[in-house]
Structure 1
Amino acid sequence: MKVRPLTFDALVAEVVGRVGAMDGRVRVLVDGAPAAEPGRLADAVVEPLRALGRAVQRVSTQDFLRPASVRLEHGRTDPYSYRHDWFDFHGLRREVLDPALDGKVLPSLWNAATDRASRAEYVDLPENGVVVVDGTLLLDRWLPAELTVHLWLSPGALKRKTTEQWTLPAFEDYEPVADLFVRYDHPERPGLVES
């Protein structure tokens, strides 16, 4: 295993370059523990992709939470529930990832603040469109995507950077496989793992 050192901007360029080389509609999953801030990388690739002439739709799993009655059924700090019950991965696939190939995407499903449906409207995704989804625990759910990115934190960094310590057991058996596996203990100096 070889690790290629990068900067954050070089990582953005790597993702953009890979997406730019793909034809048609592209689904990108940016995965990482909340402490890795996968949304930051997902946000950072939007404008460079648009500069390449690609329409981009950003989606976050934070807008695909399950109702509080389901995700908090076993309490607010249950790691098993966090791992298996918090995020509506079926809804994400049904409303975003599968229909993206046909040119329609629902950008949000659930409003966690009101604990109600977001009532968002479907948006059109052109033929060269890109859907960029960020979230945590995405890559062992068999979700369809043309490009997957995992921001990996070492156990020590994960523990140090995680504010919600009760979630840590949810990551113990999480072994994601990604197209781009990135060592991310130092976000400004990531390392791309190459085999």
Structure 2
Amino acid sequence: MRFRPVSPPTLVDEVSALVADRPDLTRVIIDGAPPTRPDVLADDLGERLRLLGRPVLRISAADFLRAASLRFERGRTDPDARYDDWLDAGALRREVLDPMGPDGSRRVLPRLWNAETDRAARADYVDHRDGVVLVDGELLLGRGLPHDYSVHLWLSTPALARKLPESEHWALSAFARYDAEVRPLYVADTGVRADDPLRLAVLDDAPV
């Protein structure tokens, strides 16, 4: 394996340049545990892509969670439920990723569910032709979600334990399972070690 040190701005430059030059890349997933702030990277990429002439629609996987009665059926701190049951992957695929795929309608629902109020978001559909959707969230790879490019922000086990709030430590085994079963650092198109948020390292050579 070979890791290449990069700064956060350089990572944004590299990924945005690649996506801007490829009109076939319409569905980009930015994946990482909450302390890596995949939403911030997705926002920065969105701003850069707009400057490069590509319309962007930002989507958060947190707006496609299942209702609380389903998410917390096994309790609020069940790590396997967080891994398997929290995300409504079928809705994310149906309302966002499939419509943005080849021959898709380009009619996208930007938000499905408000997890804070536990009610439908009541968002309107958006016609998003000739653009790209940037989807941020956790535990997104390995689910069969259709996409054209992915970035994973990876934390070592000690770094994740340090950075995740103690009240969320019950979820550590969910992220450990994700690393073991999916190996997101290696399966992502761009795998990034992010233990130090100011000194990232891009995986240039992934093991087969």
User: Does the TM-score normalized on the shorter chain lie above 0.5?
Assistant: yes
Q: Is the 1:27–1:131 Cα contact (8 Å) retained in structure 2?
A: yes
Aligned to 1:42: 42
**Alpha-carbon shift at residue 24 of structure 1 (Å):** 4.2
CA distance, structure 2, for counterparts of residue 75 and residue 25 of structure 1: 38
CA distance, structure 2, for counterparts of residue 155 and residue 25 of structure 1: 32
What are the Cα deviations for residues 119-162 of structure 1, in whole angstroms up to 9, with x where unaligned? 111101122x0100000000111111111000000111011111
Q: Which amino acid aligns with 2:177?
A: D
Q: Is the 1:74–1:81 Cα contact (8 Å) retained in structure 2?
A: yes
Q: Which amino acid aligns with 2:147?
A: A
Alignment pair present for 1:104 and 2:107: yes
- The gaps in structure 2 that reach 5 residues or longer are none
CA distance, structure 2, for counterparts of residue 146 and residue 85 of structure 1: 24
Give the ranges of 4+ consecutive aligned residues of structure 1 lying more than 4 Å apart after TM superposition: none
Q: Is the 1:25–1:100 Cα contact (8 Å) retained in structure 2?
A: no
- The gaps in structure 1 that reach 5 residues or longer are none
Aligned to 2:117: 114
**Alpha-carbon shift at residue 173 of structure 1 (Å):** 2.1
Residue identity over aligned pairs, in percent, reads 54
Structure 2 residue matching 1:99: 3-state secondary structure = coil
Q: Which amino acid aligns with 1:168?
A: L
Q: Is the 1:4–1:192 Cα contact (8 Å) retained in structure 2?
A: yes
TM-score, normalising length: structure 2: 0.91
Q: Is the 1:28–1:133 Cα contact (8 Å) retained in structure 2?
A: yes
Q: Which amino acid aligns with 2:127?
A: D
Q: Is the 1:104–1:125 Cα contact (8 Å) retained in structure 2?
A: yes
CA distance, structure 1, for counterparts of residue 149 and residue 70 of structure 2: 30
Q: What is the RMSD computed on CA atoms of the aligned residues?
A: 1.0
CA distance, structure 2, for counterparts of residue 188 and residue 91 of structure 1: 35
Alignment pair present for 1:142 and 2:144: yes
TM-score, normalising length: structure 1: 0.97
Aligned to 1:186: 196
CA distance, structure 2, for counterparts of residue 106 and residue 66 of structure 1: 15
CA distance, structure 2, for counterparts of residue 26 and residue 72 of structure 1: 33
Aligned to 1:154: 156
Q: Is the 2:154–2:195 Cα contact (8 Å) retained in structure 1?
A: yes
Q: Is the 2:36–2:153 Cα contact (8 Å) retained in structure 1?
A: yes
Q: Which amino acid aligns with 1:182?
A: V
What are the Cα deviations for residues 68-87 of structure 1, in whole angstroms up to 9, with x where unaligned? 00001111111111111111
Report the count of equivalent residues: 194
Q: Is the 1:110–1:116 Cα contact (8 Å) retained in structure 2?
A: yes
